[in-house]
């Protein structure tokens, strides 16, 4: 956590983008983001057409995504762009 905050402190433009994204999530979830989920409605995942019921907890492998060169050309550097 310290390293993430340290990097964000060095990159205020990325911190601003992160703040906007967090504010957006809280707005869409009516400030209810407990247990890492925002489940106002169920739906279908765009990949694989998998139906997800309301209240389903979904884990996203953030560590792996952040280090995937498919999404981040320089995964070892914090550049703030995809």
Give the model's pLDDT for residue 57.
74
Report which secondary-structure segment, H or E, holds 51.
strand 51-52
Q: pTM for the complete prediction?
A: 0.41
- Categorize the per-residue pLDDT at 48 as very low, low, confident or very high, splitting at 50, 70 and 90: confident
Tokens read off for 80: 């703030």
Asked whether residue 53 carries a pLDDT value surpassing 70, the answer given is yes
Asked whether residue 38 carries a pLDDT value surpassing 80, the answer given is no
Token pair 């979830």: residue: 29
Give CA–CA dist 69/82, Å, rounded. Answer: 10
pLDDT in tens, 10-27: 999 999 998 888 887 777
Whether 36 contacts 43, CB under 8 Å: no
Give the model's pLDDT for residue 35.
44
């Amino acid at each position: 956590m310290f390293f993430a905050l340290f990097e964000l402190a060095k990159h205020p433009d990325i911190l601003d983008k992160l703040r906007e994204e967090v504010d957006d999530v809280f707005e869409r979830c009516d400030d209810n983001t407990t247990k890492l989920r925002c489940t106002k409605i169920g739906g279908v995942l765009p990949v694989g057409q998998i139906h997800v019921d309301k209240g389903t907890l979904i884990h996203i492998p953030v560590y792996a995504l952040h280090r995937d060169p498919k999404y981040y050309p320089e995964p070892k550097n914090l550049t703030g762009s995809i």
